[in-house]
Structure 1
Amino acid sequence: MEAGEDIAAKCGRDGETPPGPTKWPILGSFLNMALLGRDNTHMFFPMVHKKYGEVARIYFGQYPVIVVSGYDAIEEAFVKQEENTIDRPSFIPGVKAFKCLGKGVLYASGEDWTGPGKLLRSSLARVIDSVEHEKVLTEEIKILIDDFTNAGQINFQPGDTLDRAVMTCRYAAVTGKRLAHTDPNLEKLLWYIDDISRHGGTFSPLATVPLLKHFPCTGKAYGNLMGAYESLHAMLKAEVEDRKQSYGDRAQSVLDFFLDEQKDNPESTHYSDGNIAVILEECLTAGGLPIGWTVGWAVIYAAGHPDVQTKCQEEIDRVCGKSSPVKFSDIENLPNVRATVYETQRLVTIVPISAPHLTRTDMDLKGFHIPRETIMFNHIRSAHMDETQWKNPQEFDPSRFLDGNSVKLPPAFMPFGIGPRKCAGSVVAEREVMLIFASVLQAFTFSCTGTMNYDGIGTVAGVRPPETNITVSRRT
């Protein structure tokens, strides 16, 4: 019996394994996802929750995975028992292949995660508070507004002007280098990130099932995915080497903060050039595109709900005026804008499942026994759709996040995950989304003459906006 099968056999209640769909040869539950259609794989997890309950067992290739759904079960697994579910499964073939330069932060555990993870969180927070980052973001927003004005509509295709603005800002924040929109390196960066996103990254079928690289129909895709990771790592390793030659003594990017730590700990593999490059890659692949996707979704919902859009615009005009650029310092005074973004994040759930967790020891969850070294997922979307936590969760209603003129965040709201492994860049992502969304609402009114399309294009990794033509009208 294989290791994965052995773990599956031990998972259970009174000798019974948690319920779940059929395990198919080689692919496991990936085949069930594929049968939903290429753009609908994200709907697999709600189906599993509905049919099999709060604690369900699926298979990513040969690996048994426990999907935890519903707010109560998620809180129990990842907050109340956080010390037991804090690790990551670094043994997945894709993780080992794509993290060959270092362990990074996203899939690191123990001491490999603690120090670098803490530094990443603090450095991102300091960068987002810097005058330099706000300036870059404000200038990119101006370019974005000019592009929207000239185009007259938005269709949210991959690599479009919104992706360019977001990735330019993110690259500047992590490396300290701002890429011009005509720079070939920006084109390459967008291509690498899009390829990784489309194929699902380190936990995709290509990365989890090694045999797929030998099949004609999937071998090319595996090569493209490997090539995207290798090229991105090479680009970022070059940035590390370049920055070491030019860096002074004032940290202005995530890379600078890690180079400072490298000087203080020259022998530590946690701060080697390779590991820093992997950490920068994770900042781009895990935190880049979802920012643009969130803004895109917020625009779609604003276009489909004119009353919400008008309320946000009146608030922006009152706080910021009609011509002065929106600033980070304004965001706290824009509760309707914030509530609209939060409701968009809740209803869409751009990242529907968390990065994988790994149990340290045997644990009990909702009556099921789960052995050590079992992979577990937090089904974030299930918490956002939990009828015990939200009234009419299928409806778009930003007011659920408002308490008078204040914003309230219910415990079941977790777009960036929950517990100590919550996304390290959540503060950066949230503030960037708020600033971009408020700025475009200040400049434009969005509408759609046809039927609104709220059907996202999903992969295992995330849900991007549909290619819907939204009309852009400049406000006067």
Structure 2
Amino acid sequence: MDSIISVAGSYIDWDVKSLLLFTAIFILTADYIRSRRPHSFPPGPRAFPIVGNIFTVDYNRAHESMTQLAGKYGDVYSLRMGQEWMVVLNGFEAVKEALVNQGDSVVDRPYLPLQWDVGLGIVFSSGSTWTQQRRYALSTLKYFGLGKKSLEPVILDEFTYCAKDLIGYKGKLFDPQHIINNAVSNIICSLVFGHRFEYGDEKFVNLIKWFGKALQLQASIWAQLHNSFPLLMRRLPGPHQTVLHIWNNVKDFIRVQIKEHRQNWDPSDQKDFIDCYLNEIEMNKGQADSTFDETILVHCLLDLFVAGSETTATTLRWAFLYMAKYPEIQAKVQAEIDRVIGQSRQPSMEDRVNLPYTDAVLHEVQRMGNIVPLSLPHATNRDIQLGGYTIPKGVIIIPNLTSVLFDKKEWKTPNTFNPGHFLNEEGKFVKRAAFIPFSAGKRVCLGENLARMELFLFFTSFMQHFTFSMPAGVKPAMDYCFGMTLAPCPYEICTISR
């Protein structure tokens, strides 16, 4: 009897093993058949079963990793992230062909579960939501001065607040991140919230301090795992949960602002973006095709708040580092500003044409700073041809802006800080087609005009009044922290009043 039970047990044991083996083989075979590269699809590195190329990319330097892969697989190559295919575009010509020449075909954003869990506003939405919200945001922000001369005093007044704090350090080492983030954030806050925040406002300071952390995590392997295996990752702890926690705190902050506007709202006196949007909600009630509601408002304000704060502040922090690294360039900028503007008045956007070297230096900071190294992902809404390959509908497109801003075919010394990239032989400023730090096509950055104005007025004002340097014998560290934005690692610097 015992021997019969033993034999039966061994059969059951082998049946379980066989079942597990069969299941594993079935899953791997099905994964291979389902996820193999389609015919005429771009080449790329070999993908592992289930996870694809998730572990192919170095997420501490993904922009460099993806640029290096182009050297092996070409300017148009593919990666499989989990079960999703993405195509990475490298070099100015490939990026231009997709975003500009075939812009209508790649205007959508892909479905990214982590971003959907945060919420969709303007930046990551598609279709009618994106069309309505972007058009409305642009027209309303222009009404309140976006890209107009009327916004100049707001920016220059904010510089005055910022300068007082810098003077207070009396040339001692300090970390400029808090002051610069606060100053830049106050510009978009004045447009959307109707007021600025004091630099000592602890809640506001903590809020914008976490922007960089969230953007860093959203470009990490944890975010990629969440997007590839959302059902599993939503139930697991980890840094991807920190992203959601940070953005939920930001949305709570925004909801308080909306609530205060609701309490004091006067439809006949619209002072800022929120006032106007609340009016738009009331006007569109009952319309089936309307995308205007308070939930969307929260997500749109999140997009405007973060986009209007992080990228410009990060660019200025890079500018300080480059000026400290190249004091001879800083001195030349200051000499031009002294000659054109002097010390008796504030700069104006009208001065830009007469400050070609200053403008060139600022553009070179943006190029070398490479603030949004992989742009934001697009998605094909129909089958298209790119680089001789067929890209099916629904594939994620990654425009590698790093490969454009450092394209050897477009820049004389791509890896060297050289303001001459934006100057002709007569010393006049020249535009460069491959200068696309704000991306290109229909999805070009919504706040490009605001960012350009802020960068010029802030940078010129800083150079007019201060000299940035490191202590004797100390060289600026140009290390970066990779994320959706490429920020300098935290540093300390000296500012001396001129």
Interval containing the TM-score (normalised by the shorter chain): 0.7 to 0.9
Q: Residue 384 of structure 1: CA displacement?
A: 1.1
Between the aligned partners of 1:256 and 1:414, the Cα distance in structure 2 is: 33
Matches within 5 A, 1:166-177: 166-177=184-195
Corresponding residue SS for 1:31: coil
The letter of the residue matching 1:266 is K
Q: Residue 293 of structure 1: CA displacement?
A: 0.9
Between the aligned partners of 1:328 and 1:50, the Cα distance in structure 2 is: 41
Structure 1 stretches lacking a partner, 5+ long:
none
Q: Residue 413 of structure 1: CA displacement?
A: 0.9
**Kept after mapping to 1: 8 A contact 2:216/2:481:** no
Q: 1:337 maps to which residue?
A: 358
Q: Residue 285 of structure 1: CA displacement?
A: 2.3
Corresponding residue SS for 2:441: coil
Q: 1:229 maps to which residue?
A: 247
The number of equivalent residue pairs is 460
Between the aligned partners of 1:150 and 1:26, the Cα distance in structure 2 is: 56
User: Which 4+ stretches in 1 moved above 4 angstroms?
Assistant: 1-8, 24-28, 129-133, 153-157
Q: Deviations over 1:363-418 (max 9, x none)?
A: 11111111111110111111111122221211211122124464322111100001
Deviates more, 1:424-433 or 1:225-234: 225-234
Between the aligned partners of 1:393 and 1:59, the Cα distance in structure 2 is: 30
**Are the structure 2 counterparts of residues 4 and 214 from structure 1 closer, same or farther at C-alpha, using a change threshold of 3 Å?**
same
Deviates more, 1:295-304 or 1:57-66: 57-66
Q: Residue 250 of structure 1: CA displacement?
A: 4.8
**Kept after mapping to 1: 8 A contact 2:147/2:453:** no
- 1:452 and 2:476 aligned: yes
- 1:113 and 2:134 aligned: no
Q: Residue 6 of structure 1: CA displacement?
A: 7.6
Between the aligned partners of 1:367 and 1:334, the Cα distance in structure 2 is: 43
Q: 2:495 maps to which residue?
A: 472
Q: Residue 84 of structure 1: CA displacement?
A: 0.8
Q: 2:100 maps to which residue?
A: 79
- 1:394 and 2:418 aligned: no
Between the aligned partners of 1:324 and 1:306, the Cα distance in structure 2 is: 24
- 1:285 and 2:297 aligned: no
Between the aligned partners of 1:351 and 1:387, the Cα distance in structure 2 is: 19
**Kept after mapping to 2: 8 A contact 1:352/1:379:** yes
Identify the match of residue 402 of structure 2 among 378, 381, 394. 381
The letter of the residue matching 1:229 is W
Q: 2:15 maps to which residue?
A: none
The letter of the residue matching 1:345 is Q
Identify the match of residue 95 of structure 1 among 97, 115, 120. 115
Identify the match of residue 212 of structure 2 among 183, 189, 194. 194
Identify the match of residue 240 of structure 1 among 255, 258, 270. 258
**Kept after mapping to 2: 8 A contact 1:125/1:427:** no
Between the aligned partners of 2:255 and 2:346, the Cα distance in structure 1 is: 35
Between the aligned partners of 2:349 and 2:272, the Cα distance in structure 1 is: 18
Q: Residue 312 of structure 1: CA displacement?
A: 1.5
Corresponding residue SS for 2:398: strand
Deviates more, 1:181-190 or 1:3-12: 3-12
Corresponding residue SS for 2:55: helix
- 1:253 and 2:272 aligned: yes
Between the aligned partners of 2:385 and 2:34, the Cα distance in structure 1 is: 14
TM-score between both structures, scaled by the size of structure 1: 0.88
| Structure number, greater radius of gyration | 2
- 1:52 and 2:89 aligned: no
Q: Residue 94 of structure 1: CA displacement?
A: 1.1
The letter of the residue matching 2:159 is I
The letter of the residue matching 1:469 is E
Q: 1:265 maps to which residue?
A: 284
- 1:412 and 2:429 aligned: no
Q: 2:390 maps to which residue?
A: 369
**Kept after mapping to 1: 8 A contact 2:325/2:475:** no
Q: Residue 144 of structure 1: CA displacement?
A: 2.1
Corresponding residue SS for 1:58: strand
Identify the match of residue 104 of structure 1 among 98, 101, 121. 121
Between the aligned partners of 2:457 and 2:103, the Cα distance in structure 1 is: 33
Between the aligned partners of 1:76 and 1:275, the Cα distance in structure 2 is: 32
Corresponding residue SS for 1:430: helix
Corresponding residue SS for 1:195: helix
Between the aligned partners of 1:190 and 1:351, the Cα distance in structure 2 is: 18
**Are the structure 2 counterparts of residues 124 and 363 from structure 1 closer, same or farther at C-alpha, using a change threshold of 3 Å?**
same
The letter of the residue matching 2:131 is T
**Kept after mapping to 1: 8 A contact 2:174/2:494:** no
Q: Deviations over 1:121-161 (max 9, x none)?
A: 2333343356774444323312322222333256657x521
Corresponding residue SS for 2:96: helix
**Are the structure 2 counterparts of residues 419 and 5 from structure 1 closer, same or farther at C-alpha, using a change threshold of 3 Å?**
farther
Corresponding residue SS for 2:440: coil
Q: 2:20 maps to which residue?
A: none
Deviates more, 1:387-396 or 1:188-197: 188-197
Between the aligned partners of 1:228 and 1:6, the Cα distance in structure 2 is: 39
Q: Residue 206 of structure 1: CA displacement?
A: 5.7
- 1:426 and 2:448 aligned: yes
Identity level (%) = 27
The letter of the residue matching 2:408 is E
Corresponding residue SS for 2:85: strand
- 1:142 and 2:160 aligned: yes
**Kept after mapping to 2: 8 A contact 1:27/1:205:** no
Corresponding residue SS for 1:59: strand
**Are the structure 2 counterparts of residues 7 and 313 from structure 1 closer, same or farther at C-alpha, using a change threshold of 3 Å?**
farther
**Kept after mapping to 1: 8 A contact 2:54/2:224:** yes
Deviates more, 1:130-139 or 1:189-198: 130-139
**Kept after mapping to 1: 8 A contact 2:63/2:402:** no
Q: Deviations over 1:240-287 (max 9, x none)?
A: 232233344454433344334334323454221111111110112233
Between the aligned partners of 1:30 and 1:147, the Cα distance in structure 2 is: 45
**Kept after mapping to 2: 8 A contact 1:18/1:56:** yes
**Kept after mapping to 1: 8 A contact 2:147/2:449:** no
Structure 2 stretches lacking a partner, 5+ long:
1-26
Between the aligned partners of 2:34 and 2:304, the Cα distance in structure 1 is: 32
Corresponding residue SS for 2:385: strand
**Kept after mapping to 2: 8 A contact 1:86/1:358:** yes
Between the aligned partners of 2:175 and 2:48, the Cα distance in structure 1 is: 35
Identify the match of residue 329 of structure 2 among 284, 304, 308. 308
Identify the match of residue 201 of structure 2 among 155, 165, 183. 183
Identify the match of residue 349 of structure 1 among 362, 366, 370. 370
- 1:441 and 2:463 aligned: yes
Between the aligned partners of 1:118 and 1:263, the Cα distance in structure 2 is: 18
Q: 1:204 maps to which residue?
A: 223
**Are the structure 2 counterparts of residues 408 and 204 from structure 1 closer, same or farther at C-alpha, using a change threshold of 3 Å?**
farther
**Kept after mapping to 1: 8 A contact 2:218/2:243:** no
Report the aligned-residue RMSD: 2.8
